[in-house]
Structure 1
């Protein structure tokens, strides 16, 4: 998943996905491994497009995965995709949906105050750090996708990689 977003961000004309969330991540078994794909490019834009507005308005995306700067009508950047990846990583770590009991205004207020979802103590420490770094409040302090990929190597050293992931299936 991170590798796919990294590919988009490193294209000659980088693409910002703008709606990274768990239901836009597809996973299939491929032999003993899993093939993960980033899907739904309906809101994606080339980074250097001049217009911030689209047919969906100035700030698109889905609230639980939106970076704080987007909740303040800021511009989508690679860093806002990284924030959303952090929320998806939290979902993978917990097996839960983010902010299950909250409405959009509650989520927005929570995130804008600098608060984040709790990361349970049973999660490997390096994975906890990775999630926390991805959803730092200030976009310029978030890691790049390449930095996330490099950090994942440390996470795998600390984690049982032979364990099959728990899957939550989204249907259309």
Structure 2
């Protein structure tokens, strides 16, 4: 992205994002669609964002990306590094055993529920990206409506979560 990558923006510059901005980043409606079905075979990725089926060297498909998306969405709403107190390998082993990140209580309830659905243990119960996009757009719609009805974005700033002091 222009201006650098999201990881540096969140973690090196200590930014906290507004809900409407998070929903535009997290909306993959502009992403290209996969043209073919089937399992992915290369075990690529970073342990902190890796789905359990990938960690366990099992066959996986696009639902592994849905899991990783949940970790990125958690990262967006908390401005924290996932499993920051664990090494990447410890994080992977913990995810394999069912550990998930704590979603702060200040996170929009629908975002919280979406994150939980996306990082579910069973890939078959995770939503597909078209469902995720529809949910994000549905969450964003009243925020945009409130912003335009009040005459500007300035009056409707909604912080998801204040960044905690480290």
Normalized against structure 2, the TM-score is what?
0.65
Name the counterpart of 2:17: none
Structure (1 or 2) with the greater strand fraction: 1
CA distance in 2 between counterparts of 1:125 and 1:157 reads 15
Q: Provide the C-alpha distance between the structure 1 equivalents of 2:86 and 2:55, rounded to a whole number of angstroms.
A: 16
Aligned to 2:9: none
Residue from 9, 29, 47 that aligns with 1:63:
47
Pairing 1:58-137 to 2, within 5 Å after superposition: 58-137=42-121
Name the structure where helix makes up a greater proportion of residues. 2
Mapped to 1, the partners of 2:29 and 2:51 lie a distance apart of 16
Q: Structure 2 vs 1, CA of residues 5 and 154 (structure 1 numbering), >3 Å: closer, same or farther?
A: closer
Whether the 8 Å contact between 2:51 and 2:67 is mirrored in structure 1 is yes
Q: Which one has a bigger Cα radius of gyration?
A: 2
> Which of residues 12, 36, 42 is equivalent to 2:35?
12
Q: Deviations over 1:99-134 (max 9, x none)?
A: 112112321221112120000000010010011111
- Larger RCO of the pair (alpha carbons < 8 Å, separation 6+): 2
- Using the size of structure 1 for normalisation, the TM-score is 0.63
- Per the alignment, residue 127 of structure 2 pairs with 143
* Bigger mean CA offset, 68-77 vs 81-90: 68-77
Matched residue count: 126
Deviation at 1:157, TM superposition (A): 4.9
- The alpha carbon displacement at 1:83 in A equals 0.5
**Unpaired runs of 5+ in structure 2?**
1-24, 148-152, 161-166
Residue 85 of structure 1 aligns to a residue whose secondary structure is helix
